[in-house]
Structure 1
Amino acid sequence: MSQNKIRYKATIAGKSYTIIGSRPEVHLKMVAETVDEQMRQIESLSKDLDPERRAVLAAVNAVSDQLEMQIKMMEMQNQLDELELKLKEIQE
């Protein structure tokens, strides 16, 4: 299983990290760039926050975005289910 994992070296908030994952390198790069961007945005808004607090806020933002997307996916699945039911009713 470890043969599917890749190592990606990234710089986030001025520090070097090695990210190990099974996603393609382009995905890991986009993730690292997004986290770095969010950290810089948080720093520009609240310069008095230490790096650990900025990282926690970035994590909170990421989880919030993830939950919002999950809600949207569930809503879309419900709409799809309703449309499939209507289509089935029309076909009968």
Structure 2
Amino acid sequence: MQKENNRIRVDIYGMEYQLRGKASVDHLRLVAGLVDDKMREIAGANPRLDLNRLAVLAAVNIADEYMRLRQEYEELLKILEREPDRPQGRLDL
């Protein structure tokens, strides 16, 4: 059975957006909050940035954080797979 799409209206950097996805409403709110927080953080340090540049810099910063966390995750998986008591293969954490 396919999960239904949830819809939610969120405010990101003063603009209203409608998000839709299979994730929970709480998850969609958290994602929107992360984007809003990142945009506000960057705008605080660079108050003259226009909205487009601000959005792109927020996306680049979030992508960088994601890639670093993914690399750490992959390194942890390798460590766990080397332990003799652990089953081999990918772990679902």
TM-score of the alignment, normalized to the shorter chain, above 0.5: yes
TM-score normalised by the chain length of structure 2: 0.85
Q: Could you tell me how far 1:2 is from its partner in structure 2?
A: 7.8
Aligned residues: 86
Matches within 5 A, 1:21-36: 21-36=21-36
Q: Could you tell me how far 1:34 is from its partner in structure 2?
A: 1.2
What corresponds to 1:77 in structure 2? 77
What corresponds to 1:45 in structure 2? 45
Q: Secondary structure at the match of 2:32?
A: helix
Alignment identity in percent?
31
What is the letter of the counterpart of residue 36 of structure 2?
D
What corresponds to 1:65 in structure 2? 65
Q: RMSD over aligned Cα, in angstroms? A: 1.7
Q: Could you tell me how far 1:87 is from its partner in structure 2?
A: 3.2
What corresponds to 1:87 in structure 2? 85
What is the letter of the counterpart of residue 87 of structure 1?
D
Q: Secondary structure at the match of 2:74?
A: helix
Tell me, in whole angstroms, the C-alpha distance in 1 between the residues paired with 2:55 and 2:42: 9
TM-score normalised by the chain length of structure 1: 0.86
After TM superposition, which residue ranges in structure 1, 4 or more long, deviate above 4 angstroms? none
The structure whose Rg is larger is 1
Match status 1:12 vs 2:8: no
In structure 1, stretches of 5+ residues that fail to align are none
In structure 2, stretches of 5+ residues that fail to align are 87-93
